[in-house]
Chains A and B, each alone.
Chain A
Amino acid sequence: MSSRRKVLLMGKSGSGKTSMRSIIFANYIARDCSRLGPTIEVEHAHVRFLGNLVLHLWDCGGQESFMENFLVSQKDQIFKNVQVLIYVFDVESREFEKDLRYYQSCLEALLQNSPKAQVFCLIHKMDLIEEDHREETFKKREADVLRYSELAARPHQVERENAVCQCFKSSIWDETLYKAWSTIVYKLVPNVGIMEEKLKKFAAILDADEIILFERATFLVIAHAETREHKDSHRFEKVSNIIKQFKLSCRCHFELESMHVKNSSFSAFIDTFTANTFIMVVLRDGNASVAATQLNIKLARPHFEKLE
């Protein structure tokens, strides 16, 4: 059974909504994004994610005249039946107060029309801030966003748990974009819990340090299981980013099927898994048998295909 999710992508003009959509779902690389023009009114995109989960992305143009329209004459059309609102802020915006007021109006309209929707805010273009100030600036912006979320949500508090939304910092030039989107997508995928249970069992059988499941088209992380703690908490996004860059740099029409990286202390396998996923298995043993691991991945496949 296919399930549709209406995802609104909103934010001020030039904040980078279309750029990030193109990178995540349309295989753009970051520097191609300079070619994108401004979005007029609403661009619709259907993205098949994990086979039967269809994300219906409404990329809403951010120019003020459009925004006014969305909030007044097209209010019902835009804000009805929304599952997710992703609101993008430009961290360098000179009129942050104004952006926040627009955000508040959007959130109010959303809460009236789709009270169950989840809201995520991205503080985008973080790469423009000097590295030492990034955390501080983000914290400040986040506090502002949360304050305005509260303002918008207060009258509706009764039926709403996630009135105060989640904030992410992001930039199209590093892995933070993947981090943000992975977290968002994670909340949209049904039975992630069961998948993680199964991955854990699989990891125990293989004696693997870590197993990660990626969505095939976007290479976003869906689920993972680790048996040994790893100190780098950004590793998933880094892998997503690296593999995607690699696939794009190949510039060929062949599909990536499998990959094996090893040195004396570990071996990692990336393999096609179910129709919609890739799996990555990390083993501590550098001499682990390729054939045996691939055999086991093949054996695990049917168990995960049943879940989708």
Chain B
Amino acid sequence: MLKQKALIQVLEQANTNEVTSAILFNKEGLLLGQSGEEVSPTWISSIWACFDRRDLNESIIVMDEGIIGIAPVANMLLALKASKKAEIGMVRAKLRAMAKYLEGPISMIERDV
């Protein structure tokens, strides 16, 4: 089972160095947990769906207002949102570390469904 509180505590750890929020959601765009400021999982999942191929490991979108990094975790998606002052390398490193950390537990949950 997925403990929402525990998940949020994990996600909160990403919120430093200009990263303002971290969210985990499924491919339909439904939120499982989020920390920090609100981000719409719906449009992030639709962006991902546009690029999605089996070998897509991550995507970093740099915009005027900030940076968004997306990576798959088992059958779900993890996204980090950072301000425009953030270093792209740092966002990417955090995204990878967080995705790797969540991969084991989340795939275990999904296996049982």
Contact = CB atoms under 8 A, between A and B. Distances in A.
Interface in B10-25: 25
A285 B7 CA distance: 15
Nearest to A298: B113
Contact of A299 (B7, B30, B113): B113
Contact of B1 (A289, A291, A296): A296
Contacts, number: 40
A285 B31 CA distance: 15
Contacts of A295: 2, 32, 109, 113
B4 A289 contact: yes
B30 A290 contact: yes
B26 interface: yes
A291 B4 contact: no
A288 interface: yes
B33 A289 contact: yes
B113 A291 contact: no
Interface string B70-113: 00000000000000000000000000000000000000010011
B54 interface: no
A300 interface: yes
A296 B30 contact: no
A207 interface: yes
A298 B3 CA distance: 14
State which size class the interface on B falls in. Answer: 10 to 19
B45 to A, nearest CB: 11
Nearest to B8: A289
B5 interface: yes
Interface of B: 1-5, 7, 25-26, 28, 30-33, 109, 112-113
Given A289-B30, A291-B26, 11 more contacts: A206-B1, A207-B5, A285-B4, A291-B31, A292-B2, A292-B31, A292-B33, A295-B113, A299-B1, A299-B109, A299-B113
Interface of A: 205-207, 285, 288-292, 295-296, 298-300
11 contacts: A205-B1, A290-B31, A291-B30, A291-B32, A292-B2, A292-B7, A292-B31, A292-B32, A292-B33, A295-B2, A299-B113
